[in-house]
Each structure stands twice: as C-alpha cells, then as structure tokens.
Amino acid sequence: MLCLRASRDKNVALYEQHHSARGPIARPDTRKHVRNQMRDFMVGNVAVGVIVVDGKAGTEAEFTFGEKLNIAIGVSKGFDILYKLKAVAPSGLPRIPLFFVAKTDTVKLDLDPAAVPAPSAAGTRVSTSAEYERFEQVWRDPALTALGFSAGKPGIAQYVQKLMATSWVALPGAPDTAYVVLVTKYMANWMAYADSAITRLTMSYLWLADQTAVNADGTGGFRGTGAKGWGEANFHRVFAHESGHIFGAPDEYASSKCSTSATAGHLHIANSNCEVSNPASVDCLMKNNIEAMCPATPGHWGWADLNGNGVLDVLEP
C-alpha cells in the first residue's frame, strides 16, 4: 500500500473560515483537530517535524554547524518549491489551502557510526522494508528515545501526534496533518526515502552530499554503492520530492518501474506521466531534479475538483 486513506476533515467550514479571513479570528480548540491518521493529500496546515540525528563528536556522523544551517534552509526552500508548484496548478481549481509550519529537534547521539551496517555494494542492495529497518533502527530508535518517545513506528506515531498538538504561535487553526523528517549522517539503506503510511521520510545527508562518480560498469558512487548523491545544494529538491510521496505522488522515472495505468493518491489518479513506454512524459519534480509540476501530480496530491462543484474533492464530506 502506497498511501494511507485519510479520515475526512470534519472542520472544513471552520478551516475555510480561518484561512480565507484576514480579520480577527478566534483560536479553535486544537484538541478537536488531533487525529490518529494523517492526510494523504497536500491540503491545509501541514506540520513538519525535523529530527536532526546528530552523530558522535569527532566522527563522520557529526554534523557541522553549516550543515545544520543547510538543513534548516533546505526545508524552507523545499516549502518554496511546493508553494511554487501550487501556483502553477491547473487553472479553474478552487483555492488550494496550503501552509507549512516546521519545528526542528536536534538529538546528539553517542553512537559510533561503525555500529551501523555499511552500505551494500553496487548491485547487491536489497530493497525490502526489513533492510531499510536494519540500518535505520540503529540510530533512529535511540534518537526517538532521547526525545521521550517509544522506539520504532510507535515512537514515530507519538512524534506525529505531538506535532498535531503543537501550538504554532498566532497560527490560524491547528495543523491538519503532520509528517516527520529524519536527517542523519549515519548510514541508511538509501539516500532518501519516504513512508507515507506513517508519514515519515528519511534523508541520509552523508550519502546525499557525496559526489563520487559512478563508473561505466555501475560500480563507484557513494562508498561503492553505485549510486551518486545529489549534492548538498539539492537538499531542498530531494526534500520536496520525498514530501511529494508523503502526500500520494508516485515516482515517474523509468527506473522506478512505474506504470501509466497504475493509480495513486487519495483520489486514485493514474500515473499518466510515468516515463515507462511513454514518449509524451515530461520532466518534472517527481521525475527529475527540477522544480516543475508533473501533469498528474496535482491530482495525486488532491488538488482536483473532478465534479466541478467548486470544492476540492478531498475536502468534500
């Protein structure tokens, strides 16, 4: 399952009132907005909790101050990309409420990076959920514990619920949905990946930043994985791309083995821009390292009014 079916917002009218009005508005009881399940569409007040899992002092897993700043601005610039894509959404759509709020927690671990498995050599990487977990849990669970949460998925869920209950000062309304971003220089099974079901994405800064070239035979790349990073300068774009997964957009590049007949997102929209056997496929965020909108992505993110009644379909009761 790629996406989690979200519960419908029972407070749409209240939400619209808060977001369309410019005048004084009353703060709602935020407890009414807390849900156990997060939205699988990119609409509303989106809370993003960034957990910077900082490594042991003096090791490769330790972030520099400059890298922490790049993460902070990268998240903000990632928001900019998503706002920019909203601005070029198909004309004629109802207003798409979208507002990002963030908070960052930094956790300093005394964990030796050697305690985390080394990445798999080119051609041998296993892409199962268990393998992702084998890398991630080594540093993620101590970080969650240090923040006062349980280990594993329960801890992620607790963190998301805390985000939903967090008060962003003077924010009209509470968060409508939330997701967690784990950023670390400890090893992971891939440089960046997203799990929409628990609204968590992970970014391996060390891998992402690495620019070691891949050889013609597929070897080389980051530590012999055969995969080169996208560079620190592209942190925001990778963040935006992975955030796209959180809200239901699938990959559209050929190596993802996508299919134009497959559907995705809350509204089950076909992945019509998938590159596989599709000469009409265009370059865009879910396919390329650029800041352009894919034709099908608005639908995947819930930016659609298919029945033309002037209300986003994802917000209809």
Partner 1 sequence: MQQILAILSSDADEPTITSALGSGNSHSYLHPTVLIVDGDETVLSSLSQTTGVIATLSDDAATNLATASDITQLDTPGMATLIGNTLGVNTTFDEPVVLAVAGWIFGFSPQYQAMQSDRPREGETWDMQGCLPDDSFDNA
Contact 139, 186 (CB under 8 A): yes
Minimum CB separation of residue 65 from partner 1 in Å reads 5
The CA distance from 249 to 296, in Å, is 8
The CA distance from 269 to 248, in Å, is 10
Antiparallel, parallel or unpaired: β 98-108 and 269-270: unpaired
Minimum CB separation of residue 96 from partner 1 in Å reads 15
Q: Which is closer to partner 1, CB of 162 or CB of 313?
A: 162
Identify which of 142, 144, 173, 146 has the alpha carbon closest to the alpha carbon of residue 160.
Answer: 144
Residue whose structure tokens are 């409508």: 176
SS3 82: helix
Contact 153, 198 (CB under 8 A): yes
Q: Which amino acid is at 26?
A: A
Q: Which is closer to partner 1, CB of 145 or CB of 167?
A: 167
Minimum CB separation of residue 75 from partner 1 in Å reads 8
Q: Which is closer to partner 1, CB of 68 or CB of 223?
A: 68
Tell me the residue length of the chain.
317
Q: Which is closer to partner 1, CB of 47 or CB of 313?
A: 47
Q: Which is closer to partner 1, CB of 163 or CB of 313?
A: 163
Minimum CB separation of residue 212 from partner 1 in Å reads 12
Minimum CB separation of residue 306 from partner 1 in Å reads 26
Q: Which amino acid is at 143?
A: A
Minimum CB separation of residue 316 from partner 1 in Å reads 26
How many CA atoms, within 13 angstroms, populate the side-chain half-sphere of residue 189?
19
Our CA dihedral for 142, 207, 292, 261, rounded to 10 degrees, sits at -80
Q: Which is closer to partner 1, CB of 72 or CB of 89?
A: 72
Minimum CB separation of residue 298 from partner 1 in Å reads 19
Q: Which is closer to partner 1, CB of 163 or CB of 314?
A: 163
The CA distance from 92 to 310, in Å, is 9
Identify which of 128, 109, 112 has the alpha carbon closest to the alpha carbon of residue 120.
Answer: 128
